Amino acid sequence: MRNVILMNTDTLVSRPPADRDRANQNPRRDGPDQSASRLGREAARRLALSGVCELRPGLTDREFARIEAEYGIEFADDHRAFLAAGLPINSARPEEGSTWEHPWPDWRDGDEEELHLHVQWPVRTVLHDVEKGAWLTSWGPRPEDAAEAARTALQELARAPKLIPLHAHRFLPGGRGTYGRHVLSVWGSDIGP
């Protein structure tokens, strides 16, 4: 049940299907919204009830400002509301063979280098796959030169919304004034809800 809670926004957030589909296709960009706050608070409440991790006091506006400046990110409104309602902490020992020693990013007291690596995970792992031959047709023809292919992929990735760590290899697209986007599982170029 743990993976369902962490991977699926339908489990974290209860909304009518029409609203959920509309929000995921066309995230709102009209500033802070009560719906985003409600979604974030409800997700934090459900996470607390699940008992899969400890929730510490949520992040303050000052902490959000420091984090966004330090890591070059911008939280979506629902992600911000979620972290303001409670900061998930890695209270359990990681499972043997786990990729992530600290799957919940500890934005308040976590190791800065580890947080930077977590923020960079999506781009790093996609570029790793590009080195092994992966390529999206929407990027146009793949350059023959490997270094040029990596530069082109990096340019294309820079045009996409920045993915913000949520838990382990699960990310939310960032962007102030947006909410309701799918939680994405990111493992190299294998990206999906």
Q: How far apart are CA 70 and CA 110, in angstroms?
A: 13
Long-range CB pairs of 45-48 (<8 Å, 24+ gap) are: 45/85, 46/5, 46/11, 46/12, 47/5, 47/12, 47/86, 47/88, 48/86
Longest Cα–Cα distance of the chain, Å, equals: 52
Q: Say what percent of the chain tops pLDDT 90.
A: 57
pLDDT tens figures, 90-142:
766 666 766 677 889 999 999 999 999 999 999 999 999 999 999 999 999 99
Q: Say what percent of the chain tops pLDDT 70.
A: 78
In which band, very low, low, confident or very high, does the pLDDT at 172 lie, cut at 50, 70 and 90?
very high
Mean pLDDT score, 154-165: 94
3-state secondary structure (DSSP) of residue 78: helix
Helices (H) and strands (E) in the chain, counts: 8, 6
Q: How far apart are CA 86 and CA 83, in angstroms?
A: 5
Quick one: which of 68, 35, 65 has its CA closest to 27?
A: 35
Point out the least confidently predicted range of 24-28, 46-50, 164-168, 186-190: 24-28
Is the pLDDT reported for residue 89 higher than 70? yes
How deeply is 73 buried, as exposed, middle or buried, from its count of CB atoms within 10 A (0-12, 13-18, 19+)? Answer: middle
